[in-house]
Amino acid sequence: MRVAVGGNLMDARTVSMEEEVIKLIDQRLLPGEFVIFEARDYREAGFAITEMVVRGAPAIGATAAYAMAQAQMQGKDLEEVARHLRSTRPTGHDLFYAIELMLQAFREGKDLAKLAEEYAEDSVRRCRAIGRHGLELVQDGSRVLTHCNAGALATVDYGTALAPIRAAKESGREVFVFVDETRPRLQGARLTAWELAQEGIEHAIIADNAAGLLMARGEVDLVIVGADRVASNGDVANKIGTYEKAVLAKENGIPFYVAAPVSTFDFSILSGAEIPIEERNEQEIRQVGGELIAPEKSRVRNPAFDVTPVRYIAGFITEVGILKSDELSVLKEEAERSKGK
């Protein structure tokens, strides 16, 4: 992605590795500061995932791939490294997909550094293909609502839900994006709005609870969100609040699409009921920007994701095309193919 830092335009990737150091755009600090976090071993990479220096399912997957490669270069016990990385965040599937891929390659005696680089490149290619396929949904003048951040920052580059929007902009179409602020970590307000501003894409940040009114008034044409894990039947785990947007979209006759690459699909589970939902710490809800906004002693629940049943989803924008839920077996074949590469 092109970013303006201190008045200079530069190309940046969310995740990369240079000479055994994993480099991550520190997403805890955006939009205020653009800082690169350096993970020098797998424990630092694990910290970066848990603390959300890096977040978004495909970006987490790429970080894990690099962490496995780095560990091989440093002569670490790869089975132990895999165990540690698997314990960082439970919901997003890409993390587990990338770890298994690298572990398998390691057992076959392969060079993981080369493989991790290919994994990252492949991830960008898949996001661009999602953009190309999703382009047919985004007309000139479309008003699209999105939740959380499923942009370049949530991937290695280019994004999933934001990919068709970027592609539409690149092909000269005018697009307007409603950005849910996305409590409690504000990935929409902090990250999606920042990305869209960098790209010169028109947008407005809305409070999470404003979507219903705007939909009912006919101000939203289309919803596109990303995914953390998609079950075989098409149920989708994504950032908390996604489910209610999907229900509101159906109620108001607005198509609701999920954009995701093959690495996010978990064909080992039948439905969303089997997806583990991460519960994060209470302070994320009690505090905003480090300031207490609720009684310190009140109990808090902080589930980070919810599950949208497949009946609310119009289709899946993937790297192989826009699929209905009964066409997902095409992707299963793609998963087998990409694992066997």
Q: Which residues bind ligand MRU (CB under 6 A)?
A: 55-58, 92, 148, 150, 154-155, 160, 187, 226-228, 238-239, 304
Task: Decide whether 62 or 150 has the Cβ nearer to ligand MRU.
Answer: 150
Which tokens belong to 31? 């939009």
CB of 154 to ligand MRU, least distance (A): 3
Quote the CA–CA distance of 108 and 178 in Å, as a whole number. Answer: 47
Q: Which two tokens stand for residue 2?
A: 């092109």
- Nearest to ligand MRU of 105, 163 (CB atom): 163
DSSP letter, residue 148: S
Rounded least distance, CB 338 to ligand MRU, Å: 17
Q: How far is the CB of 85 from ligand MRU (least distance, A)?
A: 15
Contact indicator for 136, 322 with CB cutoff of 8 Å: yes
Query: Measured from the CB of residue 123, what is the shortest distance to ligand MRU in angstroms?
Result: 10
240-255: buried (b, 16+ CB within 10 Å) or exposed (e) per residue? Answer: bbbbbbbebbbebebe
Cβ closer to ligand MRU: 304 or 314? 304
Structure tokens given for 96: 């587990």
Minimum distance of ligand MRU from residue 273's CB (angstroms): 19
Q: How far apart are CA 229 and CA 223, in angstroms?
A: 18
Strand (E) or helix (H) holding 134:
helix 112-134
Residue closer to ligand MRU, measured from CB, 72 or 160:
160
Find, among 212, 235, 256, 252, the residue nearest to 308 by Cα.
235
Using Cβ positions, the residue closest to ligand MRU within the complex turns out to be 226
The catalytic site residues sit at 228
Nearer to ligand MRU, 57 or 120 (CB): 57
Residues pairing with 223 in the sheet: 145, 256
In this structure, the dihedral spanned by the alpha carbons of residues 17, 59, 32 and 212, taken in order and rounded to 10 degrees, is 170
DSSP per position, 63-91: HHHHHHHHHHHTT--HHHHHHHHHTS-SS
